[in-house]
Structure 1
């Protein structure tokens, strides 16, 4: 406003604009001036300037992205624990024996059972000599399935055994030869 009672017109850069156009231009200029001073302006309110975190201080919230402090699946937590303690090999060996049906499939698991795993040699007991023969024929595929499930190097070879026949030897002394079988018909 002027001192002699006359009203001053719009500034020169707003001259020629009318109504809402003049308001929009003035608002854009005000926002630009606020941004140049470091203030974040949006929708009519001025946000306080954000400070960078001090060196060595961590923020207390994790935010929208993944963070190591977020809840983890139990399997990931146990895997990390096994790796940090050096138990990975033992866990892999245990998973071969514990998850036998899922590793080799239900059909094989119904007829063969793992009995031991020592020094990379997995001993498998088959329910019949026919199943033992079949497993020996597909031994390479079984090793590939096991390696895919638990990792390479856990099982290096298979020792497949058929059913154990009853022993006819009783006591400290026995007679050499066919023994009691030759009396059967």
Structure 2
């Protein structure tokens, strides 16, 4: 066979090389119609041909911003934080204008919403309306976002000024 290789030229040489490769592939058990090196890179899995984008939607098409934002929120697990943010941004719509006038949300941690009232009378009123407020909030932003409501009265002035202070009740004869 060594003498026949020198005599073959051009297309005859290519045909002979192809026949030799087919014989080797058949000896190894590679199915007909598949190139010997096609599956070597991907571990035997067939490659998917890249197709042209047609008239239908495709992953490569521009996506609406809202869809991309919701996908990012879901991927990063920010659903709870966004729902908590809705409590603060939609406070007046959730609890009503009159309640929102006299109370504001301060913090939301682990399902407990801290609300600060404008007066002690409104703090008492909010404690009485607690169940109804929780129902309204759950209907607006979701069931498990706010589970408890902590109502605080108005903020008292702080008597601590400067880096050093003396423990005690503060000035007592100021409001005499």
TM range (shorter): 0.5 to 0.7
Q: Please tell me the root mean square deviation across aligned C-alpha atoms, in Å.
A: 3.2
Q: In the aligned structure 1, how far is the partner of 2:169 from the partner of 2:98?
A: 42
Among 177, 180, 183, the residue aligned to 2:173:
180
Q: In the aligned structure 1, how far is the partner of 2:88 from the partner of 2:110?
A: 14
1:91 maps to 2:85: no
Matches of residues 11-160 of structure 1 in structure 2 within 5 Å? 57=51, 60-62=54-56, 72=64, 74-160=65-151
Q: How high is the TM-score relative to the length of structure 1?
A: 0.55
Indicate the SS of the match to 1:124: strand
Q: In the aligned structure 2, how far is the partner of 1:161 from the partner of 1:155?
A: 16
Q: In the aligned structure 2, how far is the partner of 1:166 from the partner of 1:57?
A: 70
Corresponding pairs, count: 124
Q: Aligned in 2, Cα 1:128/1:57: closer, same or farther, shift over 3 Å?
A: same
Indicate the SS of the match to 1:123: strand
Indicate the SS of the match to 1:62: coil
Which aligned runs of 4 or more in structure 1 are off by greater than 6 angstroms? Answer: none
Indicate the SS of the match to 2:105: strand
Structure 1 residue 125: deviation in Å? 0.4
Partner of 1:166: 157
Q: Aligned in 2, Cα 1:57/1:144: closer, same or farther, shift over 3 Å?
A: same
Q: Which structure is larger by alpha-carbon Rg, 1 or 2? A: 1
Q: Which runs of 5+ in 2 are unaligned?
A: 1-48
Q: Aligned in 2, Cα 1:70/1:173: closer, same or farther, shift over 3 Å?
A: closer
